[in-house]
A and B are shown apart, each in its own frame.
Chain A
Amino acid sequence: MQKKVGTAEKNSFLSAIIRKQIFIPIAALIILAIFNFIVDPSFFKITLGHNSEGDPVLSGNLISIIDYGSELAILAIGMTLVTAASRGQDISVGAAIAISGSVVLRVLCGTNSHPETLQAPIIAAFLVSCLVAMAFGAFNGALVSVFKIQPMVATLILFTAGRSIAAWINNNELPVVSDRTFTYFGGYIPGIPIPTPFFIAILCFILTWLALKFTNLGLYVQSVGINEKTSRLNGLNPALIKFVTYVILGLCVAVAGFIKVSRLSTINYSVVAKDIEMDAILAVALGGNSLSGGKFNIYASILGAYVIQFLTTTLYKFQVQADALPAYKAVVVIALVILSAPIVREKLAAFFKKLRSPEKAESKA
């Protein structure tokens, strides 16, 4: 008797978990981890070594994931908000990263593209790039909220023009920063063996958590995304709220762009953050968020971003043949997206419930 109650509880607990939004990215992470563990447990090995400067660094696939997944996770925060409020996606984030990265280098290098010393403090470069990226975010936001253009169409403008603008900011040259402190943000701070991008990402998550806890951002964005008319009648200004989400995404873009240029101390306008907008949208979808707006869970999107990076690292690790790489990625993504479809989740939950009934029958017999 006792046991029966136990299993029943466990099963309903399972089906409750399956209905939870954050279940999808967690399940995906677990599946990927189990797969790697079975095929090659050394995947999870982390070793402490030294880099060429003699500073301690940790390395291993897991470190690579939390390192290279940072930009995507930061973008996922803003993309989730934009998706929820404006019921559409910003496809210009990759181009916007090129712009903000270009601005960082422009400020640091001045007019000389290969200066021996920094022409401005790094913090100033970062702040200027934040302002520029937020201005471009505001441009997209204004098109969407004031002129009521569909988000994808509105952001198509920057998507098309962004990389040319980025190149123009630096006169089409490829500046290289030789100062070592600049590499700390995309690499390691001497003495700390964990990659800095991860700390920056954590900082962003904490800020997001604080913003959601100590402001009404979540409530406002969700009500506007679900029912704009009601929101207005309850005293909200839907246009302003949509606009603000685009500006926030602009800020996320600036942080991601800063990490990107810091990783290599230079930029390549045509390939930097290429296709990252699609990955960011995918992260939102993998987080179980509806791409047509409304309710959202930012933490699920962030996990979704790490799922994508986990997948990429896994594919690199197993040296999937170059031509087949996109195909493998597509298959896994399709599987994850299907798993995240509400219908499938309902079916799964029902399946677990069914599992319970034969057990009942058994115990009766």
Chain B
Amino acid sequence: MKMKKILAMAASTILCGAMFAGCGETSSSSNKTDTTTAPKATDADTPKSDDNKSGSLIKVGIINNDPNESGYRTANVNDLKATFTKENGFDASFAYSLKNEEQINAAQKFIQDEVDYLLLSAADTAGWDSVLKDAKDAGVRVILFDRTIDADESLYDASIVSDMDKEGEQAVDWLKSQDLKAYDIIHLQGVMGSAAQKGRSKALDDTAKELGWNIVTQQTAEWNAEKAQQIVQAAIDANKEFNVIYAENDDMAKGAVAALDRANISHGVDKDVVVIGFDCNKWALKELKAGNWNYDGQCNPFQSSYILDIIDKLEKGETLSDKKIVMDEKGFDAKTITDADVEQYGI
């Protein structure tokens, strides 16, 4: 039995090591801590892990999606890796996968390794009940971040989420406040059915209906810059009149701007077309700073401070007032954004 456990641990260590190897130089420091602490944990017998609980290092298992999935995910992973370090009092192991089953396997391994906290960004909403029950029975605290799951609330301790509806509303409120003479909008949607697309589309759709804004074109560009460029190009070729680009991510906004440039249509602060993007990529915020775009809505990838806060409370024995914690998310206006903002919030 013990042998099996050690083997499993070794396997997951190797797996984690391989993952880190893929992340290159930026992660090399945390990589080292990870590979050195993990075997120690393997050697640890029961009294020592009691030791852990009494205060030396808090053991956390972090399950996340593949860092290559998007810029958002990369920022998210880097943020977590920078926070859960030995210096900050954590012994963290990481597992990455875009597949639910692999994530569940990783969760089981972490439970076997007797982690104190399981941090989870699930690839899929379904299928988590039994493994979370196991976690509960083993006394492992579960904190969901970034994504929710279809499971009973009693199975986890906290859930940190982005409110996509709110992101959209913030952006649309900003647009409303601009008080344009007319609102003729090209709406570039993300992959249909994704949480971000639904939230961000809903806000615009509702307000447009309410205030009688004219949606000139509404089309999915599937988060893809080039498709966005083609869609806007088609609108320009059809002589459509528009003065707002509402793109549901930065890439699509960039594609749209490329089409505008090609047709010599001015865009940005005090220009013909207002450009709105989402996600706050660093390059996008720079465009904003330069006045080429007008607004960028944040989808906050920096969840570790919230998680730290929760762990702190739980360690002190406090109870959380609400299991669902909605993150604070900003929206940046080209007129007010500062270089410091670009550095701090750009991902």
Contacts and interface: CB of A to CB of B under 8 A. Distances in A.
A188 B262 CA distance: 9
A317 B217 CA distance: 10
A49 B261 CA distance: 11
B230 interface: yes
Contacts of A329: none
A346 to B, nearest CB: 37
B266 A52 contact: yes
A270 B68 contact: yes
Contacts of A321: 218
Interface in A300-332: 312-313, 316-317, 319, 321-323, 325
A57 interface: yes
A270 B70 contact: yes
B184 to A, nearest CB: 14
A268 interface: yes
Contacts of A119: none
B66 interface: yes
Contacts of A10: none
Contacts of B254: 264, 266
B220 A172 contact: no
A174 B237 contact: no
Interface residues of A, number: 45
B238 A317 contact: yes
A42 interface: yes
Which of A57, A172, A266 neighbours the largest number of chain B CB atoms within 10 Å of its CB?
A172
Contact of A49 (B24, B25, B231, B264): B264
Contacts of B13: none
A269 B260 CA distance: 24
B7 to A, nearest CB: 26
Nearest to B67: A172
Interface stretch (B158-166, B167-175, B221-229): B221-229
Interface in B1-43: 22-26
Interface string B92-117: 00000000000000000000000000
B263 A171 contact: no
Contact of A59 (B66, B218, B226, B263): B263
Given A164-B66, A270-B70, A316 B222 contact: no
Interface residues of B, number: 45
A64 B251 contact: no
B230 A51 contact: no
A27 interface: no
Contacts of A60: 237
Interface in B236-272: 236-239, 251, 254-255, 258, 260-266
B24 A176 contact: no
Interface string A230-253: 000000000000000000000000
Nearest to A111: B25
Given A163-B68, A172-B74, A264-B225, A61 B230 contact: no
A187 interface: yes
A229 interface: no
Contact of B223 (A163, A176, A271, A322): A271
A197 to B, nearest CB: 11
Which of A59, A274, A316 neighbours the largest number of chain B CB atoms within 10 Å of its CB?
A316
A168 interface: yes
A184 B220 CA distance: 27
Contact of A264 (B192, B226, B260): B226
A167 interface: yes
A322 to B, nearest CB: 4
A317 B235 CA distance: 7
B255 A164 contact: no
A50 B264 contact: yes
B260 to A, nearest CB: 8
A19 interface: no
B233 A266 contact: no
Contact of A312 (B26, B220, B230, B251): B230
A270 B69 contact: yes
A260 interface: yes
A263 B258 contact: yes
B189 to A, nearest CB: 6
Contact of A57 (B70, B231, B262): B262
Interface in A260-300: 260, 263-264, 266, 268-272, 274
A64 B224 contact: no
Which of B71, B239, B262, B265 neighbours the largest number of chain A CB atoms within 10 Å of its CB?
B262
B281 interface: yes
A114 interface: yes
B251 A271 contact: yes
Contacts of A188: 262
14 contacts: A42-B239, A51-B261, A52-B265, A64-B233, A163-B68, A164-B22, A168-B24, A173-B74, A263-B226, A268-B225, A270-B68, A270-B69, A313-B230, A322-B189
Interface of B: 22-26, 66-71, 74, 189, 192, 217-220, 222-226, 229-231, 233-234, 236-239, 251, 254-255, 258, 260-266, 281, 283
3 smallest CB-CB distances across A and B, nearest first, come from A322-B220, A167-B68, A171-B24
